[in-house]
Structure 1
Amino acid sequence: MNAVPFSCTWASSGCRAARHPLLRWLAAAALALAAGAAQAECSVSASGLGFAEYDVFSATPSDSSATITVSCSEATSYSLALHSANGSPQQPLLGSSSDTLAYRLHQDAARTLVWGEGAFALNGSTEGTQEHTLYGRIPEGQNVRVDSYTDLLTVTLEF
């Protein structure tokens, strides 16, 4: 049995096999595996979550929403987690110079699914662009001073 030469130069146009059909198939399989090992590239962006003025005497909560957009270069599963600079992800706080105002982050318009990190992260999959709506709610009945309240939300995308 004679050895058939096989050469592969990745810097040039790819792998070339000599005349042997088995080596041609192996070279094609090696190229397919190398192409499948490419990593997806993903990015995330978000609009701001802004609430209207909070009325301490109102019997209804203050609601708002924002959009989180995930873009991936190829089909990819991912997880979106939210982190609050003030408080925990499941109980974030809007802070001022003298007070805090509790609010919640939700995955659904009915505001029943809390959104945060770990078990509270949102899981998804996309090839291209996928938008997710973030629903915020400040519960009624909080006795706070008149002031400007802020929080810094960080969106973490894992894929």
Structure 2
Amino acid sequence: MTQLPFFRRLIPVRVLLALGLLVGASGAHALCLPAVCTCTAQTTNLLFSNYNPLAYSTSTTTGTVTIKCGGVAGLLIPFTIALSQGGGTSFATRRLAFGAHTLSYNLYADSAYTSVWGDGTASTVTVGGSLLLDVLSLLGSATYTVYGQIPARQVTTVPGGPYTDAVTVTITYQ
């Protein structure tokens, strides 16, 4: 009996969370005006381990979005965080790309991978909260985890290479 060599293709994958437009306070309920407070945001990229398209388990990783605000003590700053579709055409399955080759993946707001993090449309959720500025430091911050998942057993004909996607993070202060 002759055995053929078995080759595993491991594919390096990463998702860049690009901080998008920081939208200032909107409407008559605007609390975070430039003269009253300032806010910044920072993201970390999601770096998947090498993906094996023949594996029976999903590939998962996490990244973060952190919001920091400073200003008047006791100020309450409500906000929402939305994530774009990235280079894909829908939130149902975002796409990682290496040239013309793609892998499906998605981003979630929960560790159970059930709530797709998007812009609130097409059955997606946004994440939000409120920052209460500390009386002593005049600062407030919040960090949110972004959960990434690549489904198991995708097409085995994709070549190895750096698969990436860029997702825009939009923070709206309300």
TM-score normalised to structure 1 length: 0.71
Cα distance in 1 for partners of 2:86, 2:80 equals 20
Q: Which has the higher strand share?
A: 2
Q: Which has the higher helix share?
A: 1
- Aligned residue type for 1:149: Y
Runs of 4+ in 1 over 6 A off after TM superposition: none
- State the Cα deviation string for residues 42-75 of structure 1 (Å, max 9, x = none): 2211111110111011000000001110112242
Aligned to 2:131: 126
Matched length: 124
1:89, distance to aligned residue in structure 2 (A): 4.0
Identify which range, 86-95 or 147-156, moves more after superposition. Answer: 86-95
Cα distance in 2 for partners of 1:131, 1:156 equals 15
Aligned to 2:100: 98
What does 1:46-125 correspond to in 2, within 5 Å?
A: 46-73=43-70, 74-87=75-88, 88-119=90-121, 120-125=125-130
Asked whether the 8 Å contact 1:107–1:133 carries over to 2, the reply is yes
1:86, distance to aligned residue in structure 2 (A): 0.9
Matched position secondary structure for 1:50: strand
1:91, distance to aligned residue in structure 2 (A): 2.6
Matched position secondary structure for 2:129: strand
TM-score normalised to structure 2 length: 0.65
- Aligned residue type for 2:45: G
- Aligned residue type for 1:132: Y
Matched position secondary structure for 2:87: coil
Residue 158 (1) aligns with residue 172 (2)? yes
Mark the runs of 5 or more structure 2 residues left unpaired by the alignment.
1-31, 133-139
Mark the runs of 5 or more structure 1 residues left unpaired by the alignment.
1-35
Aligned to 2:13: none
Cα distance in 2 for partners of 1:117, 1:90 equals 12
- Aligned residue type for 1:78: F
Q: Which has the larger radius of gyration?
A: 1
Matched position secondary structure for 1:118: coil
Asked whether the 8 Å contact 2:48–2:61 carries over to 1, the reply is yes
User: How large is the RMSD of aligned CA atoms in angstroms?
Assistant: 1.9
- Aligned residue type for 2:98: S
Aligned to 1:140: 152
Aligned to 1:42: 39
